[in-house]
């Protein structure tokens, strides 16, 4: 019996120490007087790291206290991996007892997280762009919100600009991933509504070293303009190749490209490119009456004070906006119940859904039971790259 | 597709293929000498390119700290492994290669980096920073596992890959960089526009292949490496320490990786994780060559580059599928009807 | 401690790395049942954070895949970087069926397994011919392709994937939360463990386990190694598909990212870290990797004092260190810690006789040569290794094939055993043409062999290696093995193996790991294995090498006895005394040709032989 006993003892020891560890881990977090706990999961590693890192950075700028209650943020990395994102979500819910979750950075991970959020009745504020996350608002998406502008809003901006500038046909090149796919779905109807033809669709991978084949194929279709749907510095490669191959027409980018590294890598190859973006990108150039100007300037100042000049990006702003949204909703929820309770989470969800005139760094938000993004045209500006900097285009041009 | 488009694609494919060829050669070399399927090969490409990009901007690259740390760990590992047999001379030699050398490289880099030295100096610094990482990584990660199975070595290689990719993200961030071309010249050959940079790549690849050939054929060290590749025991019997051959193979791997990074970075944006995919395509070439033949690996790499270029024109969504699945028929053709080969490796 | 001793064996057995069967069927279940009971109690531990259940669920899902890798990689020696793709096949099948066609998840399960199995069979048929290092790299290619194909096709909802997958329901109760799924997942793991242990401890399992001992050895005993490989591959894929089915209903959403190359790498890593040689190692590995990953995220920021992306770095470093300290994974260390020794196998002396191998008409005839080689030739490029060689071996005759080094003896041996096809010439066993036939076909003709370089499967005990010799005398398939319907036949096979071991005088070493024996003893084990085939002819490649004097005498006596029983023997040997005293006739080779042939006495006095062969020695 000896051996059997030893094995049993070993198993028992492992089980006990594992559960003990768990207890320590869950008990080690000090519980201040009714703090509001927010779980944040972003993709600071993996393919979407260029989104996730500034988002994680921006957490440090969020409000530490709302209506007399401390707000705690628990930040985890999901590595742009759905399984990890969902595991983080479950960890937040069962171990950290959070009142709301912010994240993740990309659509596929968020879509899976929304399932868990709805199941456990925890509000999720996503930082990913695709409208699928919140549309249509059904039983599941009741609990899902997002701060980035819908790609549709941005696509409309591009289509309007194209129409105003006499573009009749467009070639599209986008990432072979959810970002490129999402944009393609949105730009098609936007172009159609303006009578612009989509004449070629090509794909490339984020780390590709060459897009010559795609560029040639696009140019063979002789489009008036070409749009690139990529995020961060990888969006510069098609623009460069197109210039090299002698494409003379206008090149459109998406707001995913809007960070300073893009300008650094793109250099003169992206000069003249036009893109839709959140107002925060050109905060200083906004007219004084733009509602977001002040908030955006404050965000930029705080972020750059902490992480260095030129480090700011619109991705960080999405996180900041999520903070602003929660900040606006928490007081109403606090009137209903204490943080850490199912009632509080339900009340917080209701409060977010009823949020009115919340000023983001990127526009003004009015949520409704059927619109969990709540943004209008004020959330988008059209920007052109001039002399290696972002230049605000006057509306309607 | 007309002829001019085909020619442009061909040119593009050949240039990319040249980089794959360099990596493929390096992979074959490391595998035949050490049995390590060196997944982290690609990381040296990223490290090389991004280190150069930082030097170009007048910044001190964080890779020098990695170099120092790896040197220290490698020295400690070697002294620990040989603690019973080490002579004072050997200890001094280890201190020289693993401590003094990286310290000197780091000092020179810190001194020169802010002064934005000429491109040639920047490249030399980059190579000096990245190349020694090869043997250091070998000493600490693979040498203690020298007798382990190929599978264990492969998993260890994956561990190194994970660690290096993580370090790359910490050092360089998620966004990419691109360096200035060595030459901005453009030549017109018929309807084809050939950039000076692409000529550089082709030239350096050709020169390196020739140099490697000469190295293996003419020098004693090269012959020793080949001997180890053929028969580890035999090499030991004629007085060549496998650990020495392995260290040299990894030095070459570090050098080739860094050089590939330096060459390719003016052509395209390089990210902290670009290397993995480039490395895998080098692998495809190496596999086609049966992980054994250098010339075939080189030719296969060019083939991979061209197939990739054509696929990106015809079916860009399925480009990777096409590139990676071409190895299946090639492998089948290679093994079909071949006699059952017994592997004494477990 | 009133319980009889066999309980110890049962307990030890259930966790022994190689899944050997203990003495009794009932006892075998004790340890797993105890483990099951512990598992069942975990969710009830008071105060256990619910997240640990979530983690355990993930561990169970990963463990399923890792157990498959034990069969494929740890046991079968085939490394696959494609397991995540099979998880994906299972997950997508159930996702599509349940969301688009309203199929009940339970009905989608067989569909998911069928799709995964067929997919794996297809991939395996194309890829498994590739040997050695090509296979892992080819699976990398498959997995990358799978990722992009799924991400680009509408039917899989592209990169966003499919969400809104319904939970699995049992009797109207939806298993939607962690604890309820926990039982389903770990129930599946328990079934997978039992099935895998059963499979490995069977005729088919021995064939898979023999793959690592070398394809040639297995083929020489009639094992269709191609079939064994694809069987292991499909089995591993099915476990992955099962994991995928569970994953889809746990996660309730699927997209390509969890089924990419990185996930495949992680599965392999789990198996290797835990110990790919054992199902328990796979579970340990899945648990460790998952927990380390999770804990690193909690503790690293606290240790380093800054938030950053250090998990991957720490993880990579830990992995390398772990391999350096525990090359075979951690499970063997755990066993050592608990002081568990490998189990001994009960022997069924009472089991019935294994039926003799069916003999062909030629084999049954009493006249004519057993082996007739005519004008046999083998060229490697310009080099003629065997040059128009002819000789015969008659019934009940011991013939020696001798010659100096490089004379072509080994090549000749390879030709007559079907390892290499001849360039030209004719080989006949019992009057039937066997030229160019494969080794396993020649084994079917009643020809058994041993090897110059001993080829015993490393992970198996002596008796299991010997039992492999009886492969052609058994019939049980994989399904029968998993369901334990093969016990009677297995008992007979092992009784036979034991009898043959006794015959060569090694019965008391039956349960030792084969590779722990002295080299000379291993050669004798090979002879016992060959005898298990119930052969009409034995081909022995340097059987006396490495034997001590007394052992040689015993071996000679055994071979004479076998001759007395009507067996024909061809042996290649260097030891002149041994050959001269034993054989009826000798064939002397030089430079690939026959130099002389005759009785030992004639050869001893043949001037040409003295000149060419013995002259060199004297």
All structural domains of chain B with their residue ranges: 3-335
Quote the ipTM score: 0.88
Q: Which of B6, B276, B316 is the best substitution to test chain A (most A C-beta atoms within 10 A)?
A: B316
Mean pLDDT of the residues in chain C:
85
Residue C141 is nearest to which of B148, B328, B346, comparing CB atoms? B328
Q: What is the three-class DSSP state of C485?
A: coil
- The two tokens of residue C492 are 């007979």
Interface subset of A 109-138, CB within 8 angstroms of B:
none
By the 10 Å C-beta count (0-12 exposed, 13-18 middle, 19+ buried), B146 is classed as middle
Which of C55, C252, C288 should one mutate to test binding to chain A, selecting the residue with the greatest count of A CBs within 10 A? C252
Q: Which of B19, B173, B309 sits opposite A53 (nearest CB)?
A: B173
Packing angle of the helix pair C50-69, C279-304 (nearest 10 deg):
130
pLDDT tens digits, residue range C137-151? 788 889 999 999 999
Report chain C residues whose CB lies below 8 A from the CB of B337.
none
Q: Is C369 exposed, middle or buried (0-12, 13-18, 19+ CB in 10 A)?
A: middle
Helix ranges restricted to H, chain A: 2-27, 49-58, 82-94, 107-120, 151-164, 178-193, 212-220, 236-244, 260-266, 293-307, 314-336, 342-353
Q: How confident is the model at residue C345 (pLDDT cuts 50, 70, 90)?
A: low
Which chain B residues are closer than 8 Å to A52 by Cβ?
Answer: 174
Backbone angles phi, psi at A250, to 5 degrees: -70, 145
**Higher pLDDT, residue C492 or C359:** C492
Please report the pLDDT score of residue C308 as a whole number: 59
Closest Cβ opposite residue A209 in set B8, B278, B311: B278
Q: Is A261's CB within 8 Å of B175's CB?
A: yes
**Using 50, 70 and 90 to split pLDDT, how confident is the model at C3?**
very low
Find residues 202-221 of chain C whose CB sits inside 8 Å of chain B: 212, 214-216, 219
Residue C326 has pLDDT above 90, yes or no: no
| Contact assignment for B343 to C131 by CB distance below 8 Å | yes
Residue B166: which of C130, C142, C313 has the nearest Cβ? Answer: C313
| B169/C129 Cβ within 8 A | no
Range from B186-190, C103-107, C368-372, C468-472 carrying the lowest mean pLDDT = B186-190
Closest residue in C to A84 (Cα) is C258
Q: What chain B residue is nearest to C439 in terms of C-alpha separation? A: B340
Are A36-149+311-376 and A151-277 the same fold in CATH? yes
B186 touches chain A (CB under 8 A): no
Q: How far is A62 from chain B (nearest CA, A)?
A: 23
Q: What is the largest CA-CA distance in chain B?
A: 69
Residue of B nearest to A173 (CA): B316
- Taking alpha carbons only, the member of B214, B240, B213, B179 closest to residue B55 is B179
Mean pLDDT of the region C26-43: 67
Band (A25; pLDDT cuts 50, 70, 90): very low
Distance from the A133 Cα atom to the nearest Cα atom in chain B, whole angstroms: 24
pLDDT band at A15 (very low <50, low <70, confident <90, very high): low
Tell me what pLDDT residue A14 has: 54
Whole-angstrom Cα distance, residue A215 to residue A203?
A: 10
Residue-wise burial string across A240-250, b where 16 or more C-beta atoms lie within 10 A, e elsewhere: bbbbeeebebb
Exposure string (b/e) for C323-360, b if CB count within 10 Å is 16 or more? bbebbbbbbbebbeebebebbbbbbbeebeebeebeeb
- Which residues, at least 6 apart from A394, have a Cβ–Cβ distance to it below 8 Å? none
Residue B76 exposure: Cα atoms within 13 Å on the Cβ side: 7
Euclidean distance between the first and the last CA atom of chain A, given in angstroms as a whole number: 85
Is the model more confident about C444 or about C30? C444
Q: What share of residues in chain A are helix, strand, coil (percent, to 5)?
A: 50, 20, 30
**CA C592 to centroid of chain Cα atoms:** 36
Beta-strand relationship, C424-429 and A197-204:
unpaired
Q: What is the Rg, in whole angstroms, of the alpha carbon atoms belonging to chain C?
A: 28
pLDDT at position A41: 95
Least CB–CB distance from A216: residue in B9, B175, B268: B9
Shortest distance, CA C269 to any CA of chain B (angstroms): 7
Mutation for A interface: B10, B56, B186, B268, most A CBs within 10 A: B268
pLDDT band at C24 (very low <50, low <70, confident <90, very high): very low
Q: Which phi and psi (to 5°) does residue B26 adopt?
A: -65, -40
Return phi, psi of residue B168, to 5°: -60, -40
Query: Does B31 reach chain A within 8 Å, measured CB to CB?
Result: no
Q: Does B226 touch chain A (CB under 8 A)?
A: no
How confident is the model over A228-242, as a mean pLDDT?
92
Nearest Cα to Cα of residue B132 among B279, B233, B254, B48: B254
Q: What pLDDT, on the 0 to 100 scale, is given for residue C8?
A: 34
* Preferred mutation among A5, A6, A7, A47 to probe C, highest tally of C CBs within 10 A: A7
Quick one: residue A126, left, alpha or beta (phi over 0 = left, psi -120 to 50 = alpha)? beta
Please say if the pLDDT value at position C120 is more than 90: yes
Of A183-197, C99-113, C295-309, C472-486, the one with minimum mean pLDDT is: C295-309
Q: What is the mean pLDDT of chain A?
A: 88
- At the topology level of CATH, where does A151-277 sit? Rossmann fold (3.40.50)
- Residue C226: other Cβ atoms inside 10 A: 16
Per-residue pLDDT tens digits for C60-83: 999 999 999 999 998 888 889 999
- Domain range list for chain A: 36-149+311-376, 151-277
Cβ–Cβ gap C152/B318 under 8 Å: yes
Q: Which long-range contacts (CB under 8 A, 24 or more apart) does B181-184 make?
A: B181/B266, B181/B267, B182/B119, B182/B266
**Nearest 5 degrees, angle CA C422-CA C424-CA C429?**
65
For C510-561, what is each residue's pLDDT tens digit? 888 888 888 888 999 999 999 999 999 999 998 888 888 888 888 999 999 9
Q: Which of A327, A310, A321 shows the shortest CA–CA distance to A363? A: A321
- B198 Cβ under 8 Å from any chain A Cβ: no
Provide the greatest CA pair distance for chain C: 92
For residue C206, give how far its alpha carbon lies from the nearest alpha carbon of chain A (Å): 27
Domain A36-149+311-376 has CATH 3.40.50.2300: yes
Please, what are the domains in chain C? 50-166+173-337 (1.10.3470), 370-617 (3.40.50.300)
Query: How much is the pLDDT for A199?
Result: 95
Q: Which residue of A has its CA nearest to B268?
A: A209
Range with the lowest mean pLDDT among A192-206, A291-305, B215-229, C373-387? B215-229
Indicate if the pLDDT at residue B236 is higher than 80.
Answer: no
- Range C208-221 average pLDDT: 85
Q: Of C605, C572, C591, C555, nearest to C393 (Cα)?
A: C572
How close A209 gets to chain B, by Cα (Å)? Answer: 5
Could you give the CA distance from residue C458 to residue C282 in angstroms, rounded to a whole number?
A: 19
Express each pLDDT in C180-207 by its tens digit: 889 899 999 999 999 999 999 999 999 9
Q: Hey, CA dihedral for C9, C11, C14, C16, is it positive or negative?
A: negative
Per-residue pLDDT at A30: 40
pLDDT band at A46 (very low <50, low <70, confident <90, very high): confident
Q: Closest to C320 (Cβ–Cβ): which among B151, B160, B287?
A: B160
Please name the residue of chain C whose CA is at the shortest distance from the CA of residue A138: C164
Q: Which of C29, C159, C167, C177 best probes binding to A when mutated, by most A CB atoms within 10 angstroms?
A: C159
- Asked if B167 and C313 come within 8 Å (Cβ–Cβ), the reply is yes
B175 vs A contacts (CB less than 8 Å)? 50, 232-233, 259, 261-262, 265
Give percent of chain C above pLDDT 90. Answer: 40
The confidence band for C343, taking pLDDT boundaries of 50, 70 and 90, is low
Question: Closest approach of chain B CAs to the CA of C266, in angstroms?
Answer: 9
Question: pLDDT tens digit string along B75-112?
Answer: 998 888 888 887 888 888 889 989 999 999 999 999 99
- Counting DSSP H helices and E strands in chain B, the numbers are 16, 2
For residue B85, the model assigns a pLDDT of 81
Best of A184, A209, A234 to disrupt the B interface (most B CBs within 10 Å) is: A209
Q: Distance from CA of residue A97 to its chain's centroid? A: 24
For residue B134, give the nearest of B99, B106, B98, B165 by alpha carbon.
B98
Contact B335 C130 (CB under 8 A): yes
Is the CB of A210 less than 8 angstroms away from the CB of B268? yes
CA atoms within 13 A on the CB side of B112: 21
Degrees to nearest 5, angle at CA C591 with C586 and C594: 35
Residues 6+ apart with CB under 8 A from C466: C497, C500, C501, C525, C528, C529, C532
Higher pLDDT, C348 or C539: C539
Q: How far apart are CA C128 and CA C134, in angstroms?
A: 9
Nearest to C204 by CA among C345, C19, C353: C19
User: How far, rounded to the nearest angstrom, does the alpha carbon of residue C3 sit from its chain's CA centroid?
Assistant: 35
- pLDDT at residue C4, as a whole number: 37
Retrieve residue C362's tokens.
Answer: 């030629």
Instruction: Give residue B200's pLDDT band: very low, low, confident or very high (50, 70, 90).
Output: confident
**Does residue C237 have a pLDDT over 90?**
yes
* A204 and chain B in contact, CB less than 8 A: yes
Instruction: Look at C7 and A4 and tell me if their CB atoms are within 8 Å.
Output: yes
Is A4's CB within 8 Å of C339's CB? no
Neighbours of C (≥3 Cβ pairs closer than 8 A)?
Answer: A, B
Calculate mean pLDDT across residues B4-12: 87
Contact B162 C313 (CB under 8 A): yes
- The yes-or-no verdict on residue C10 having pLDDT over 50 is no
Beta bridge partners of A77: A42
pLDDT in tens, A81-137: 999 999 999 999 988 899 999 989 999 999 999 999 998 999 999 999 888 899 889
- Which has more pLDDT, C17 or B18? B18
Count of residues making up chain B: 346
Mean pLDDT, chain B, as a whole number?
85
Q: CB-based contacts of C259: which residues, under 8 Å, 6+ apart?
A: C84, C85, C87, C88, C91, C146, C147, C150, C244
Residue closest to A332 by CA, chosen among A36, A61, A89 = A36
Band of the pLDDT at C19, cuts 50, 70, 90? very low
Distances (CA, A) of A38 to A133, A314, A338, A345, B88: 19, 21, 14, 11, 59
Instruction: Determine contact, residues C239/C67, Cβ cutoff 8 Å.
Output: yes
Q: Which chains touch B (3+ CB pairs under 8 A)?
A: A, C
Q: Alpha-carbon distance B196 to A67, whole Å?
A: 64
Chain C residues touching B344 at Cβ < 8 A: 214, 453
């Amino acid at each position: 019996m000896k051996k059997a006993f030893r094995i049993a003892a070993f198993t028992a020891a492992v089980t006990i120490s594992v559960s003990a560890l768990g207890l320590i881990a869950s008990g080690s977090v000090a519980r201040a007087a009714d703090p509001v706990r927010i779980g944040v999961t972003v993709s600071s590693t993996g393919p979407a790291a260029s989104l996730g890192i500034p988002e994680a950075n921006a957490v440090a700028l969020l409000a530490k206290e709302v209506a007399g209650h401390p707000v705690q943020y628990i930040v985890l990395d999901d590595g742009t991996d759905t399984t990890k994102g969902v595991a983080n979500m479950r960890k937040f819910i069962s171990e950290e007892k959070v009142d709301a979750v912010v994240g993740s950075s990309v659509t596929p991970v968020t879509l899976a997280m929304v399932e868990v959020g709805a199941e456990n009745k925890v509000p999720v504020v996503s930082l990913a762009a695709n409208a699928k996350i919140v549309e249509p608002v059904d039983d599941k998406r009741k609990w899902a919100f997002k701060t980035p502008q819908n790609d549709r809003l941005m696509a409309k901006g591009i289509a309007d600009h194209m129409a105003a500038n006499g573009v009749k046909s467009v070639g599209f090149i986008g990432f072979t991933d959810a970002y490129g796919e999402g944009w393609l779905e949105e730009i098609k109807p936007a172009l159609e509504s303006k009578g612009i033809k989509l004449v070629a669709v090509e794909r490339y991978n984020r780390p590709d070293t060459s897009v010559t084949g795609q560029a040639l194929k696009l140019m063979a279709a002789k489009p008036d303009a070409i749009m690139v749907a990529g995020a961060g510095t990888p969006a510069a490669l098609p623009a460069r190749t197109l210039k090299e191959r002698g494409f003379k027409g206008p090149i459109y980018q998406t707001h995913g490209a809007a960070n300073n590294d893009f300008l650094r890598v793109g250099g003169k190859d992206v000069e003249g490119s036009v893109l839709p973006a959140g107002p925060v990108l050109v905060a200083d150039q906004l007219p004084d009456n733009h509602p977001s100007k002040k908030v955006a300037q404050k965000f930029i100042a705080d972020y750059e004070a902490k992480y260095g000049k030129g480090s700011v990006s619109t991705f960080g702003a999405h996180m900041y906006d999520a903070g602003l949204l929660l900040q606006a909703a928490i007081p109403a929820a606090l009137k209903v119940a204490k943080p850490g309770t199912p009632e509080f989470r339900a009340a917080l969800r209701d409060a977010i859904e009823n949020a009115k005139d919340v000023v983001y760094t990127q526009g003004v938000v009015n949520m409704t039971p059927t619109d969990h993004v709540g943004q209008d045209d004020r959330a988008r500006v059209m920007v052109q790259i001039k002399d290696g900097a972002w230049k605000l285009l006057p509306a309607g041009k | 597709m007309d002829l001019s488009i085909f020619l442009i694609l061909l040119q593009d494919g050949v240039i990319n293929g040249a980089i794959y060829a360099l990596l493929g050669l390096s992979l074959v070399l490391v595998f035949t000498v050490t049995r390590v399927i060196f997944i982290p090969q690609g990381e040296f490409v990223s490290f090389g390119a991004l280190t150069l990009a930082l030097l170009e901007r007048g910044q001190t690259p964080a890779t020098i700290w990695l170099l120092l740390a790896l040197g220290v760990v490698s020295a400690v590992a070697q002294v620990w492994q040989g603690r019973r047999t080490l002579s004072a001379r050997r200890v001094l030699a280890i201190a020289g290669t693993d401590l003094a050398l990286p310290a000197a490289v780091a000092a020179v880099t810190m001194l020169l980096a802010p002064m934005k030295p000429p491109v040639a100096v920047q490249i030399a610094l980059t190579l000096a920073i990245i190349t020694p990482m090869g043997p250091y990584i070998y000493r600490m990660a693979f040498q203690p596992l020298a007798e382990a199975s190929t599978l264990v070595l492969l998993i260890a290689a994956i561990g190194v890959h994970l660690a290096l990719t993580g370090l790359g993200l910490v050092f360089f961030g998620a966004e990419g960089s691109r360096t200035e071309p060595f030459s901005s010249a453009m030549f017109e050959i018929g309807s084809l526009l050939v950039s000076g940079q692409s000529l550089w790549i082709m030239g350096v690849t050709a020169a390196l292949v020739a140099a490697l050939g000469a190295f293996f054929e003419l020098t004693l060290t090269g012959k020793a490496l080949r001997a180890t590749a053929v028969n580890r025991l035999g090499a030991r019997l004629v007085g060549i320490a496998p650990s020495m051959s392995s260290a040299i193979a990894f030095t070459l791997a570090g050098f080739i990786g860094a050089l590939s990074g330096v060459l390719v970075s003016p052509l395209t944006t390089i990210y902290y994780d670009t290397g993995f995919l480039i490395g895998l395509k080098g692998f495809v070439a190496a596999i086609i060559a049966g992980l054994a033949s250098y010339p075939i690996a080189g030719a296969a790499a060019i083939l991979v580059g061209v197939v990739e270029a054509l696929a990106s024109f015809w079916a860009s969504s399925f480009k990777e599928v096409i590139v990676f699945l071409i190895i299946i028929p090639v492998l089948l053709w290679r093994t079909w009807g071949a006699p059952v080969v017994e592997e004494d490796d477990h | 401690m009133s319980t009889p001793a066999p309980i110890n064996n049962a307990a030890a057995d259930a966790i022994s790395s190689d899944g050997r069967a203990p003495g009794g069927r009932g006892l075998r279940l004790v340890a797993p049942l105890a483990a099951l009971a512990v598992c069942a109690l975990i969710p009830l531990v008071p105060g256990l954070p619910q997240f640990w259940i979530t983690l355990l669920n993930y561990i169970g899902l990963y463990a399923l895949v890792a157990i498959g890798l034990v069969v494929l990689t740890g046991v079968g020696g085939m490394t696959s970087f494609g397991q995540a793709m099979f998880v994906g096949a299972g997950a997508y099948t159930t996702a599509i069926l349940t969301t688009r066609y309203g199929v009940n998840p339970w009905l989608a399960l067989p569909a998911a397994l069928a799709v995964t199995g067929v997919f794996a069979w297809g991939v395996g048929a194309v890829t498994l011919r590739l040997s050695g290092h090509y296979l892992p790299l080819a699976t990398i290619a498959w997995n990358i392709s799978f990722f992009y194909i799924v991400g680009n096709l509408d039917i899989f909802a592209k990169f966003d994937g499919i969400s809104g997958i319904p939970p699995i329901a049992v009797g109207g109760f939806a298993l939607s939360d962690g604890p309820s799924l926990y039982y389903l997942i770990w129930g599946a793991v328990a079934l997978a463990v039992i099935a895998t242990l059963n499979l490995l401890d069977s005729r088919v399992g021995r064939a898979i386990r023999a793959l690592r001992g070398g394809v040639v050895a297995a083929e020489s005993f009639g094992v269709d190694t191609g079939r064994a490989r694809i069987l292991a591959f499909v089995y591993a894929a099915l476990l992955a598909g099962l994991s995928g089915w569970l994953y889809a209903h746990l996660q309730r959403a699927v997209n390509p990212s969890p089924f990419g190359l990185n996930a495949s790498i992680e599965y392999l890593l789990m198996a290797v870290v835990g110990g790919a040689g054992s199902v328990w190692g796979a579970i340990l590995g899945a648990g460790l990797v998952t927990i380390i990953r999770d804990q690193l995220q909690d503790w690293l920021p606290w240790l380093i004092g800054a938030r950053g992306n250090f998990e991957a770095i720490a993880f990579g470093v830990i992995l390398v260190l772990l391999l350096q300290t525990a090359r075979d994974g951690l499970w063997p260390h755990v066993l050592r810690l608990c002081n568990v020794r490998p189990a001994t196998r009960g022997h069924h002396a009472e089991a019935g006789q294994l039926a003799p191998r069916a003999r062909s008409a030629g084999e049954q005839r009493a006249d004519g040569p057993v082996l007739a080689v005519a004008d046999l030739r083998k060229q490697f490029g310009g080099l003629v290794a065997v040059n128009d060689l002819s000789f015969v071996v008659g019934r009940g005759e011991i013939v020696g094939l001798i010659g100096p080094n490089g004379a072509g003896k080994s090549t000749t041996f390879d030709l007559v055993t079907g390892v290499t096809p001849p360039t030209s010439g004719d080989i006949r066993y019992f009057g039937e043409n066997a030229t160019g036939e494969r080794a396993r076909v020649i084994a079917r003709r009643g020809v058994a062999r041993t090897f110059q370089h001993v080829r015993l499967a490393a992970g198996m005990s002596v008796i299991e290696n010997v039992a492999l010799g009886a492969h052609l005398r058994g019939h049980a398939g994989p399904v029968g093995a998993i369901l334990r319907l093969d016990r009677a036949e297995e008992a007979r096979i092992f009784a036979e193996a034991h009898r043959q071991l006794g015959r060569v005088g090694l019965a008391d070493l039956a349960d030792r790991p084969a590779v722990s024996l002295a080299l000379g003893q291993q050669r004798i084990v090979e002879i016992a294995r060959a005898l298990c085939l119930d052969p009409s002819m034995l081909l022995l490649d340097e059987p006396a090498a490495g034997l001590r004097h007394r052992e040689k005498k015993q071996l000679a006596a055994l071979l004479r006895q076998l001759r007395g029983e009507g067996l024909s023997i061809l042996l290649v040997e260097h030891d002149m005394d041994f050959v001269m005293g034993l054989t009826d006739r000798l064939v002397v080779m030089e430079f690939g040709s026959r130099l002389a042939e005759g009785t030992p006495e004639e050869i001893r006095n043949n001037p040409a032989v003295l000149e060419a062969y013995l002259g060199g020695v004297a």
